[in-house]
Structure 1
Amino acid sequence: MKKMNLVLLFLITSFIWIYVSNYVITHYIPSSFDYYVERGKEIFYIIVTGGIFYFFILNKEELNSTKEQEKRLSTLINSMVDFVNFKDGEGRWIQANDFGLKLFQLENVNYLGKKDSELAQYTEFYSDALKYCEVSDEETWENGTVTRCEEVVPLPDGTSKIFDTIKVPLFHEDGSREGLVIIGRDITTLRQTEERLSRTEKLSVVGELSASVAHEIRNPLTSLKGFVQLLQMEDDKHQDYYQIMLDELNRINHIVGELLLLAKPQHLKYTKMAIQKVLNDVISLLAVEATLYNVQIEVNFPKEDIIIECEPNQLKQLFINVIKNSIEASQNDSTITISLFRLEQDKISITVKDNGCGISKERLEKIGEPFYSSKEKGTGLGLTVSFKIVQSHNGTINFESEIGTGTLVNITLPMLQNSSPAKS
């Protein structure tokens, strides 16, 4: 439409020029100068129209060059795995890459010229997050400098991503706001790797400590236990005290055993075993303890045996630790459900679900750390050992829990083992 208006304006101006110039020549120019004036008029018209056409052609080339640069920039930012967003001085969206639009579920939304609060209407899940962006942007404007922070963005599937977000405010020479550049880099994998390294380092320290401490404890422990048993046989009067002493010594011996398990180098010999048999053996072993807590154990296993490569004794220790924790956390007359599924890519999933007291968010973040336990007499080494066993089997273990609702433990293991264990 704009091009058509320019053409009409050019035609109208040309007709007016021809009519007015001919009128002036006819009425005001002497006839002896008509020839020269008409030639000059034509030359002038050619120069003016040529200049106009040159101006438009030059602008068109610059426009095409600008469009080409914009296309390259758009291709560049859309190929990035980071969230990139450009806003004007009022906080209205100018351009965002495909990653960012997909992240905030705005793929089919015309975002141009809209503020975050306006875009919040198009995505219910990220409505609050987008509204908060306006507050965060305003803080960046007020600070007047580049800001950097880590933001946790929840995902619809229940997981979340961690972004290292950088906001760069741009100002005009007079100090007024010109624009805002926002770049959010996904550092979820980096943070998970750092967490794994931190956990591995802690395990290494605990292992080195355990190797020296455990043996030093066990030698006098054996002597103490022998003397207590000897006194128990000779003194009938203080049998209750002797039994308490033996129970406590046995508990110390159990802790030392867990320390040695952490310290001992793991040279596993994988064998093929039906995972149902391993689980059934553990359930039979813990059936009496479940009865004492008035807890029922329900199983949901496939009829056909699932054969995996594993170290059966270690997996038994893993399942004993997990199921025993569920039994102790459960209330009277409750049920623990143990399920086994075969997943894609030759993996299996074992879930242990209870309706017990649950785990708080703060404790859930520290679960598996050495010497961290919510139990009165717990050492925290049981789940540390469990994490190490899962790691040595190239698997993963995850906990989902809410206070007063219960806990779900999900263990994923490969059916076939590689030569080197994965870190978890």
Structure 2
Amino acid sequence: MYRDTNLDRDFSILSKNRDAFILIDLNGNIEYASHACEPLLGYSRDTLQQLSLNKLFNTDFLAPGHTFFKGREQGRLDNFDAQVQVIEGSILDVNISSMPIFFEKDFLGSYLVLKDITSIKQNRLTTEREKEHHALINSLSRLSEKQATAGQLAAGIAHEIRNPITAIKGFLQLIMGEYDGSKVYFQIINSEIDRIEIILKELMVLAKPSKQKYESVNLQVLLDQVITLMVPQAHLNNIHIEKQFDFTNTCILGDNNQLKQVFINYIKNAIEAMPDGGILHIHGSPIVDRIVKICISDQGSGIPPELLNQIGQPFFSTKENGTGLGLLVSRQIIKEHKGDIYIESDPTGTSIHVKLPLPSLK
């Protein structure tokens, strides 16, 4: 193709077309631009005819040998999306229909029709976001159904197990009182019964949360009490607890016993995550918008990324004999206290962050 003063006359029929189109030669130079290109791209036709493809189009879309010439060997129409750098410096999403131009058997260039697809891409993006939103809603719905099912199942299990366990424990105490030999096996059995009762208690909280008694709770005092309770277990596992509280006399509104249960669960999990010992960090600090955050960090091997999102679901646990109910109940308690938790984990350890709101100022 050659630049020619007669080009407008030669393409007079095409120039009346409402579509924006350009003609390009084999070197990627624009030989002709229709009138419809001016309002679409912002350039005058004279300016366009001085540009090359790599000046007009986003070069990320220009494959080696030019995508615009892809159909030349087959002599067929090619269609693809691209981006144009319009005159004010912004980017325009366009769809390109490219048709090779031949003279006899010689390939001369391509005829490119440009269509603005910005609104189409926005609608496509909106549709994708709506699909993601619906998928999230469905996922949360399934989780709620799963929790409701777990609650119903928990109530039935607790009811069926509690009575025989009470009888077993009573008879065990009678036998222990009459037996004069070593009672080490009895103590093991008794401790396992106690463990079953703890699981039953967690099941009952899951099935029917206990009525909360809201009062002013001194958060530092509560955490000190929990840590004092957990220090012996930590020492048995060669774990040192380091605490740092950047608040004093900070009170929240909540149920003292339930909040203790939450932090006992989290510290217990952190201890169990370090079978070879280590340091357990407990850090509390106020943050913006009258929120206080408590972080419990261990030095365990961490939670695999593919399992992290499942933590806190009913009956899912990374521990061999775990029920998964402790974290589920804890999350439920924090949620009822208008708080939030999130977990971070990598091969160097796991951190549980608990956020709780402070009472509003009057």
Provide closer, same or farther for how the CA distance between residues 264 and 254 of structure 1 changes in structure 2, counting only shifts above 3 A: same
Residue number among 185, 191, 196 corresponding to 1:247 in the alignment: 191
Aligned residues: 274
**Cα shift at 1:264:** 1.4
Match of 1:201 in 2: 145
**Cα shift at 1:224:** 0.9
Q: Which runs of 5+ in 2 are unaligned?
A: 6-15, 17-33, 43-52, 64-78, 81-93, 101-110
Residue number among 157, 178, 191 corresponding to 1:213 in the alignment: 157
Q: Deviations over 1:67-88 (max 9, x none)?
A: 4x889xxxxxxxxxxxxxxxxx
CA contact (8 A) 2:247 2:286 kept: no
SS at match of 1:413: strand
Larger Rg, first or second structure (1 or 2)? 1
Provide closer, same or farther for how the CA distance between residues 170 and 356 of structure 1 changes in structure 2, counting only shifts above 3 A: same
**Distance of 1:177 and 1:407 partners within structure 2:** 56
Does 2:308 align with 1:359? no
Match of 2:45 in 1: none
Match of 2:71 in 1: none
Does 2:354 align with 1:411? yes
Letter in 2 for 1:198: R
**Cα shift at 1:394:** 1.8
**Distance of 1:219 and 1:169 partners within structure 2:** 72
Letter in 2 for 1:321: N
Residue number among 341, 346, 350 corresponding to 1:402 in the alignment: 346
Match of 1:227 in 2: 171
**Distance of 1:279 and 1:413 partners within structure 2:** 14
CA contact (8 A) 2:220 2:248 kept: no
Letter in 1 for 2:351: L
Provide closer, same or farther for how the CA distance between residues 288 and 116 of structure 1 changes in structure 2, counting only shifts above 3 A: farther
Provide closer, same or farther for how the CA distance between residues 218 and 172 of structure 1 changes in structure 2, counting only shifts above 3 A: same
Provide closer, same or farther for how the CA distance between residues 324 and 177 of structure 1 changes in structure 2, counting only shifts above 3 A: farther
**Cα shift at 1:345:** 1.4
Does 2:60 align with 1:115? yes
SS at match of 1:278: helix
Q: Which has the higher contact order (CA 8 A, sep 6+)?
A: 2
Q: TM-score with structure 2 length normalisation?
A: 0.65
Letter in 2 for 1:279: L
Letter in 2 for 1:241: Y
* Percent of residue pairs identical: 35
**Distance of 1:231 and 1:253 partners within structure 2:** 20
Does 2:242 align with 1:298? yes
**Distance of 2:236 and 2:261 partners within structure 1:** 21
Q: TM-score with structure 1 length normalisation?
A: 0.56
Q: Deviations over 1:153-201 (max 9, x none)?
A: xxxxxxxxxxxxxxx9875799x99788644344666555444333322
**Distance of 2:146 and 2:286 partners within structure 1:** 33
Provide closer, same or farther for how the CA distance between residues 112 and 268 of structure 1 changes in structure 2, counting only shifts above 3 A: farther
Provide closer, same or farther for how the CA distance between residues 333 and 65 of structure 1 changes in structure 2, counting only shifts above 3 A: closer
Match of 1:25 in 2: none
Provide closer, same or farther for how the CA distance between residues 415 and 246 of structure 1 changes in structure 2, counting only shifts above 3 A: same
Match of 1:386 in 2: 330
SS at match of 2:143: helix
Q: Show the 5 A alignment for 1:172-211.
A: 182=121, 183-184=124-125, 185-186=128-129, 191-211=135-155
Residue number among 333, 338, 341 corresponding to 2:285 in the alignment: 341
CA contact (8 A) 2:341 2:352 kept: yes
Does 2:257 align with 1:313? yes
**Distance of 1:268 and 1:70 partners within structure 2:** 65
**Cα shift at 1:236:** 3.5
**Distance of 2:225 and 2:35 partners within structure 1:** 76
Letter in 1 for 2:60: K
Q: Which runs of 5+ in 1 are unaligned?
A: 1-8, 10-54, 56-61, 72-91, 94-109, 119-143, 146-167, 418-424
**Distance of 1:229 and 1:320 partners within structure 2:** 28
Letter in 2 for 1:256: L
**Cα shift at 1:294:** 1.2
| Bigger mean CA offset, 391-400 vs 260-269 | 260-269
**Cα shift at 1:237:** 4.4
**Distance of 2:62 and 2:170 partners within structure 1:** 74
CA contact (8 A) 2:247 2:284 kept: no
Provide closer, same or farther for how the CA distance between residues 259 and 341 of structure 1 changes in structure 2, counting only shifts above 3 A: same
CA contact (8 A) 1:273 1:307 kept: yes
**Cα shift at 1:382:** 0.7
**Distance of 1:190 and 1:340 partners within structure 2:** 37
**Distance of 1:274 and 1:192 partners within structure 2:** 37
SS at match of 1:115: helix
Q: Deviations over 1:100-140 (max 9, x none)?
A: xxxxxxxxxx995221699xxxxxxxxxxxxxxxxxxxxxx
| CA RMSD after TM alignment | 3.8
Match of 1:39 in 2: none
Letter in 2 for 1:380: G
| Bigger mean CA offset, 288-297 vs 257-266 | 257-266
Match of 2:85 in 1: none
**Distance of 1:326 and 1:111 partners within structure 2:** 58
**Cα shift at 1:338:** 1.0
Letter in 2 for 1:114: T
**Distance of 1:245 and 1:111 partners within structure 2:** 80
Provide closer, same or farther for how the CA distance between residues 171 and 224 of structure 1 changes in structure 2, counting only shifts above 3 A: farther
**Distance of 1:111 and 1:311 partners within structure 2:** 66
Match of 1:369 in 2: 313
